[in-house]
Chains A and B, each alone.
Chain A
Amino acid sequence: MSKEVVSKKPFMFFVALLIVGWLADLVLNPFLQFMILLLMINMILGMSLNLVNGFAGQFSLGHAGFMAIGGYVSASLAEIWWSRIGAVGGLLQIPFFIGLALIAGGAAALAGWVVGLPSLRLKGDYLAIVTLGFAEIIRVILLNTEAVGGARGFYDIKGPGDLRLGPLVVSQFLQFFAMTLFWVILCFVTIWRLVRSAHGRGFLSVRDDEIAAQAMGINTTQAKVRAFALSSFFAGVAGSIFAHNVGYLSPSSFGFNRSVDAVIIVVLGGMGSLSGSLLAATLVTLIPELLRPVQDLTGVDVRMIIYSFLLILMMILRPAGLCGSHELPEIWKKFALTRRAWAAKNMAGRQGRPSVPRV
Chain B
Amino acid sequence: MRFGGLKAIDQLSFSIAPGDLIGLIGPNGAGKTTVFNVVTGIYQPTFGEVVFDNHSLNDLEPYQVSRLGLTRTFQNIRLFQDLSVLENILTAAAQHVSYGLADAVLHTRRFETQEKANLDLAMSLLSIFHLEDKKDAPATALPYGEQRKLEIVRALATKPKMICLDEPAAGMNHSETEELMKTIAQIRERFKLTVLLIEHDMKLVMGICERIIVLDHGIKIEEGPPEKIQNSKKVIEAYLGVDGSEHQIRLGS
- A204 near B87 with CB under 8 A, answer yes
Among A27-35, A100-108, A189-197, the stretch in contact with B: A189-197
Closest to A221 in B: B61
Q: Which 6 residue pairs are nearest across A and B when measured between Cβ atoms?
A: A197-B104, A217-B95, A198-B94, A217-B66, A214-B62, A208-B80
- B105 near A205 with CB under 8 A, answer no
Residues from chain A with a CB closer than 8 A to the CB of B158 are: 216-217
Q: How far is the CA of A209 from the CA of B101 in the complex (A)?
A: 22
Min CB distance B107 to A, Å, is: 7
Q: Which B160-180 residues have a C-beta within 8 angstroms of A?
A: none
Contact A6/B82 with A216-B154, A217-B67 known, Cβ cut-off 8 Å: no
Min CB distance B157 to A, Å, is: 8
Q: How far is the CA of A212 from the CA of B66 in the complex (A)?
A: 11
Closest to B65 in A: A215
Q: What mask results when residues 132 to 168 of chain B are scored 1 for a CB within 8 Å of chain A, else 0?
A: 0000000000000000000000110110000000000
Please pick, from A7, A207, A220, the residue contacting B82 in the complex, using a CB distance under 8 A: A207
Q: How far is the CA of A106 from the CA of B196 in the complex (A)?
A: 47
Q: A197-B104, A198-B93, A198-B97 are in contact. List 11 more A-B contacts (CB 8 A).
A: A3-B112, A198-B104, A201-B87, A202-B94, A208-B81, A211-B42, A211-B78, A214-B41, A216-B94, A218-B91, A219-B63
- B94 near A201 with CB under 8 A, answer yes
Min CB distance B177 to A, Å, is: 23
Q: Which A198-250 residues have a C-beta within 8 angstroms of B?
A: 198-202, 204-205, 207-209, 211-220, 226, 230
Interface membership of B184, Cβ < 8 A: no
Interface membership of B71, Cβ < 8 A: yes
- A7 near B94 with CB under 8 A, answer no
Min CB distance B97 to A, Å, is: 4
Q: How far is the CA of A204 from the CA of B79 in the complex (A)?
A: 12
Min CB distance A194 to B, Å, is: 5
- B91 near A201 with CB under 8 A, answer yes
24 contacts between A and B (CB under 8 A): A3-B112, A193-B104, A194-B101, A194-B104, A198-B90, A198-B93, A198-B104, A198-B115, A198-B118, A201-B83, A202-B94, A204-B87, A211-B78, A212-B74, A214-B41, A214-B66, A215-B40, A215-B66, A215-B71, A215-B72, A215-B74, A218-B95, A219-B61, A230-B101
- B63 near A212 with CB under 8 A, answer no
Please pick, from A197, A208, A214, A272, the residue contacting B63 in the complex, using a CB distance under 8 A: A214
Interface membership of B92, Cβ < 8 A: yes
Interface membership of A325, Cβ < 8 A: yes
- A204 near B83 with CB under 8 A, answer yes
Residues from chain B with a CB closer than 8 A to the CB of A207 are: 82
Min CB distance B172 to A, Å, is: 21
- A204 near B40 with CB under 8 A, answer no
Contact A190/B105 with A198-B94, A209-B81, A216-B155 known, Cβ cut-off 8 Å: yes
Contact A208/B92 with A197-B115, A215-B71, A216-B154 known, Cβ cut-off 8 Å: no
- B66 near A216 with CB under 8 A, answer yes
Min CB distance B196 to A, Å, is: 14
Residues from chain B with a CB closer than 8 A to the CB of A272 are: 82
Please pick, from B63, B67, B72, B82, the residue contacting A204 in the complex, using a CB distance under 8 A: B82
Interface membership of B239, Cβ < 8 A: no
Closest to B69 in A: A217
Closest to B42 in A: A211
Closest to A186 in B: B105
Q: How far is the CA of A350 from the CA of B229 in the complex (A)?
A: 68
- B104 near A199 with CB under 8 A, answer yes
- B104 near A216 with CB under 8 A, answer no
**Which residue, of B67, B74, B104, has the highest number of chain A Cβ atoms within 10 A?**
B104
- A189 near B105 with CB under 8 A, answer yes
Q: How far is the CA of A199 from the CA of B155 in the complex (A)?
A: 18
**Which residue, of A6, A215, A219, has the highest number of chain B Cβ atoms within 10 A?**
A215
- B78 near A199 with CB under 8 A, answer no
- B62 near A215 with CB under 8 A, answer yes
Q: How far is the CA of A198 from the CA of B87 in the complex (A)?
A: 10
Residues from chain A with a CB closer than 8 A to the CB of B79 are: 209, 212
- B66 near A208 with CB under 8 A, answer no
- B94 near A217 with CB under 8 A, answer yes
- A199 near B101 with CB under 8 A, answer yes
Min CB distance A46 to B, Å, is: 19
- A218 near B63 with CB under 8 A, answer yes
- B101 near A226 with CB under 8 A, answer yes
Min CB distance A327 to B, Å, is: 14
Min CB distance B53 to A, Å, is: 15
Q: Which A1-18 residues have a C-beta within 8 angstroms of B?
A: 3, 6-7
Q: Which B92-115 residues have a C-beta within 8 angstroms of A?
A: 92-95, 97, 99, 101, 104-105, 107, 111-112, 114-115
Closest to A192 in B: B105
Q: How far is the CA of A216 from the CA of B90 in the complex (A)?
A: 10
Q: How far is the CA of A207 from the CA of B81 in the complex (A)?
A: 10
